[in-house]
Amino acid sequence: MTPRIEPRRGDLVLAPRGLLAFGRWLPCTRGRAGLTDAKREGDGATPRGAHRLEALLYRPDRLPPPAPWARPIRPGDLWSDDPRDPLYNRPTRSPRRSHERLCRPDPLYDLVLVLDWNRHPPVPGRGSAIFVHRWRRPGAPTAGCLALAPADLRWLARRVRPGARVWVR
């Protein structure tokens, strides 16, 4: 019998009510196609599972560092979402055939928690760039990420630690 793995202290749990973080419920949106066990690039779904938090990125021209371990987003920072790219689902600085621009003119990626979905190693086509970022507006779905109100995202970024897991059930 396989032991059941459960969230531990410092983990985050997504539920219909929102994202449970440090004893507080944060309103949270997810992918426009709902949750999935079979994530594919561009499907608009949020993958189920326990996803480890790998990085905290922020725009230093717009925000102070939210935590000591946060890394700045610089002009030219990209994330490859092209399944044919050798750098698929990885940060990069050189233009790719298809990529996500991290240094955006809008505030969507001013603060980003990077999850380890399909990262070690990335499987082409299985989905890329699963982040926790700010929402466009309350209740607006994402392309597959999780999204929070800007104030809640800043609150979370000050408390969460690398290696925490985000449980999507």
List domains and CATH numbers for the chain.
Answer: 12-168 (2.40.440.10)
pLDDT at 111: 98
Give the residue from 56, 34, 27 showing the smallest Cα distance to 144.
Answer: 34
| Statement: the pTM of the whole predicted model exceeds 0.85 | yes
What is the phi/psi pair of residue 17, to 5°?
A: -75, -25
User: In tens digits, what is the pLDDT along the chain, a chain of 169 residues?
Assistant: 555 667 788 999 999 999 999 999 999 999 999 999 999 999 999 999 999 999 999 999 999 999 999 999 999 999 999 999 999 999 999 888 899 999 999 999 999 999 999 999 999 999 999 999 999 999 999 999 999 999 999 999 999 999 999 999 8
pLDDT at 167: 97
pLDDT at 8: 85
DSSP-assigned letters across all residues of 30-57: -BTT-EESS--TTS-PEEPEEEEEEEEE
pLDDT at 137: 96
Torsion of CA 10, 14, 17, 18, to 10 degrees: 70
